[in-house]
Amino acid sequence: MREVKFIYKIMDSKFEKNLARLETLVMVITTLVMLTILAIVVGMRYVLHQDFYGYNEIVLADSFWMYFIGAAFAMRREEHIKADILKNFISKKGGAVMRLLADIVQTAVNYAMVVLSYNLVASNFRAWTITPLWEIPFFVPQISIFISFVLMAFYLTMYMIRDYNDLVVLFKGRD
């Protein structure tokens, strides 16, 4: 078994740092859009006694971007929800093996989700389904699903290689 060293260059690259900045920017913008729309809705409803028709269409599109890019951001920081309680009861080497196996399963499932989300976006692009009032194409919010799964696949692949390297180091006895 040999270590795969290039992964550390990728993890500390300018590209990865700019990707993180872009994710943060998308999350900040979508959060501000959400808060602005909700403030407008409340103002119109309780001050002007008017309705803001179709705001739910904008909120829906915005929330897709906020949630899915947020999920990719959590994956990048490895702060996503996981059930890894077993690592507390097994050896360091056993924990490293378990982590690598979990990475392999997670990565495989994620690559399947990349394909499925691409098919979803492609079919809605071809059908050109739109929302009733604002006529927002369905693929606009749904493309965030595809982008987030692509980002997660990138991060999971990096972490899988990193965890493989950790396992190699452990088995070579260089703790």
Phi, psi for residue 103 in degrees, rounded to 5:
-60, -45
pTM for the whole thing? 0.88
Q: Domain locations in the chain? A: 6-172
Q: Report pLDDT digits (tens) over 128-160.
A: 999 999 999 999 999 999 999 999 999 999 999
Given a cut of 80, whether residue 94 has pLDDT beyond it is yes
pLDDT value of position 175: 52
Residue at 69: amino acid letter: I
pLDDT value of position 174: 59
